[in-house]
Amino acid sequence: MNNNELATKPHYPILDGLRGVAAIIVVTFHLCEPLSTGNLDKLVNHGYLAVDFFFLLSGFVIGYAYDDRWHKITAGSFFKRRIERLQPMVVLGMTLGAIGFYFTDSALWPLIHTIPVWKMLLVMLIGYTILPVPLSLDIRGWEEMHPLNSVGWSLFFEYFANILYALWIRKFSKTALTILVGIAAVALAHLAIINGDVSGGWTLNVQQVRIGLTRTMYPFFAGLLLSRVAKPTPIKNAFLWCSLLVIVVLFIPRIGGAEHLWMNGIYESVCIIVVFPFIVYIGASGVIQNLTEHKICKFLGDISYPLYLVHYPLVYFYVAWISNHKGITIAQTWPYALLILAGSIILAYATLKWYDEPLRKWLRKKLA
């Protein structure tokens, strides 16, 4: 059974579109983030929950695509297909981060120009593997697993979940998987309520890796469980309503303030444990209304992953510019933020058509 024979299942176009909506919100979250003083007053306050939504979508799609095919494929062929899908954009994202690294001159990162080129290139090469770099290689100073492209941390945990699925959890019965998902839900709620949010996971230390694992385990395997138990029924206007729900959930301001952190933790727990699976169920059940909606969903789905990987190297320039202009207001920054957002979408589409799709097609032939 080769790759082409496996690639016959239809996509869920509405889920593709929702992934694109969430990816655009991630960009807006990162563009608003430097204008805040912390988690309490961030605009697009819960934008980081889009990552948890991505994990749930991934678990659902992986279950749909592979659960009934393990009599035809091996773990090796599964990993080849995941590498073919994910790795080209990882490599490009790290390369873009490396190209822009020395040009993000800012008081935020005063040591950038003291970093030798060999060290930056070493970080880039490790980044190509999506393995996290130790704090001794934190060349930017933000204590990130991937200092050249911050968002790489979620891809590291995405791979981890894929490995667990292929080697072990795919064999779970529905009952066993339900128990696992239930335990993961309790761990997620505990994390959110104790900390006030689930934000974190991008630093290679015990505390942050725990956050990353907790943020991954529930949504990914809840998505897998949903793909096994859900029985979709046709729902009209699903893309519109699901998109609005995603936007509302991620744009809701912080709840409870500094005095009642647990309130925000409950909100985020409910969003990830209940609302996100509901959105994915409705999206999977939805019926595309017309050709225009189909084109919108396809475009958003196509650019979602490239957008996620290419936008942050541009955001570094934007963050540096803001840090060099103390006291700047949102009224002064929004034209530049809009330019970065539009530029990121254009860059994502260009890399999709001129790099990602051709390279994946080549890899598919080589790995078949």
Mean pLDDT along residues 103-131? 94
Q: What is the pLDDT of residues 188-211, one digit of tens each?
A: 999 999 999 999 999 999 999 999
Q: pTM (2 decimals)? A: 0.96
The token pair at 64 is 């749909």
Report the distance separating Cα 170 and Cα 191, nearest Å: 26
The predicted structure's pLDDT at residue 270: 98
- Per-position DSSP letters for 94-142, written without gaps between them: HHHHHHHHTT---TT-TTGGGS-HHHHHHHHHHHHTTPPPPGGG-SSSS
Q: State pLDDT tens for residues 37-57.
A: 888 889 999 999 999 999 999
Give the pLDDT score at 8: 58
Going by pLDDT thresholds of 50, 70 and 90, the confidence category of residue 3 is: very low
**Both tokens of residue 163?**
């490995």
**DSSP string computed for 234-301:** -BTTHHHHHHHHHHHHHHPPPSSTTT-HHHHHHHHHHIIIIIHHHHHHHHHHB---SHHHHHHHHHHH
Q: What is the pLDDT of residues 52-94, one digit of tens each?
A: 999 999 999 999 999 999 999 999 999 999 999 999 999 999 9
What phi, psi does 48 have (nearest 5°)? -65, -20
The type of residue at 85 is: R
- Give the tens place of pLDDT for each residue, 125-178: 999 999 999 999 999 999 999 999 999 999 999 999 999 999 999 999 999 999
Alpha carbons 3 and 185: distance in angstroms, whole number? 34
Residue 166 φ/ψ, nearest 5 degrees: -70, -35
Average pLDDT on 94-120 reads: 94
